Amino acid sequence: MEPSIRSFIAIDLSDAARRQIEELTQALRKSDAQVGWVRIDGIHLTLKFLGNVVPELIEEIKPVLARLASQTGPIHIEPAGCGAFPTIKAPRVIWVGLRGQIRPLAELAQRVEAEMAPLGFKPEDRPFKPHLTLGRVRGRARLQPLQQILLAHQDFTAQPFDAVEVVLYKSELRPDGARYTSLFKAPLSAPPAPAEE
């Protein structure tokens, strides 16, 4: 029996947005806080974490994703703001927020959830909060400098971009951080969603 594959479904960033987020991450790293930073090439917008999946099921997921993507058009996304979950005063996850066409993005995430349930994936019980995870706090040391840098960058923005595909990723946990490999890409090929007011 082949080993299971740790996997998730996500949307990638544009290269320009990724570069600007990398500059923000470099500023945050100067705090020397105990944070496990996400590799810059690994920052993405997660739609659904699948966990460990057997290879046969991966093959069943691909046509479902292709069908979902064909019913969704490109989605305009603007990385904007940065902060921490649950709060900047008690940070556990460092994030960049998103604005733009959030309704079509949330609808896509809901449809992914609904389509994955019959394949045996437990629906997420938390509401979808679109964000990009930059790092996870691992200790309490040097939090004040980190909080100050976060507060100074709350108005952060990166270049807007259009999400044009959903990606099924394989995740490999390594000592130097998780590595992600694309297993399948499905273009968002329906007519674009109307602009939000």
pTM for the full model?
0.90
pLDDT, averaged per 10 consecutive residues of the chain (197 residues), comes to: 89 97 97 94 95 96 97 96 95 97 96 96 91 95 94 97 97 84 95 66
Active site residue 153: no
Active-site entry in 35, 112, 131, 161: 131
Q: Is residue 143 part of a domain?
A: yes
Q: Which residues contact 126 (CB under 8 A, 6 or more apart)?
A: none
Pairwise CA distance, residues 117 & 115, whole Å: 6
Active site residue 44: yes
**Amino acid letter, residue 117:** A
Pairwise CA distance, residues 4 & 193, whole Å: 36
CA-based nearest residue to 116, from 166, 75, 73: 166
Active-site entry in 44, 166, 168, 188: 44
Query: DSSP class of residue 44?
Result: -
Q: Is residue 192 part of a domain?
A: no
How much is the pLDDT for 196?
58
How much is the pLDDT for 172?
92
Q: Is residue 162 part of a domain?
A: yes
How much is the pLDDT for 88?
95
How much is the pLDDT for 178?
80
User: Is the distance from CB of 58 to CB of 21 less than 8 angstroms?
Assistant: no
Residue 183 belongs to domain spanning: 5-187
Q: What's the CATH code of the domain at 170? A: 3.90.1140.10
Domain count within the chain: 1
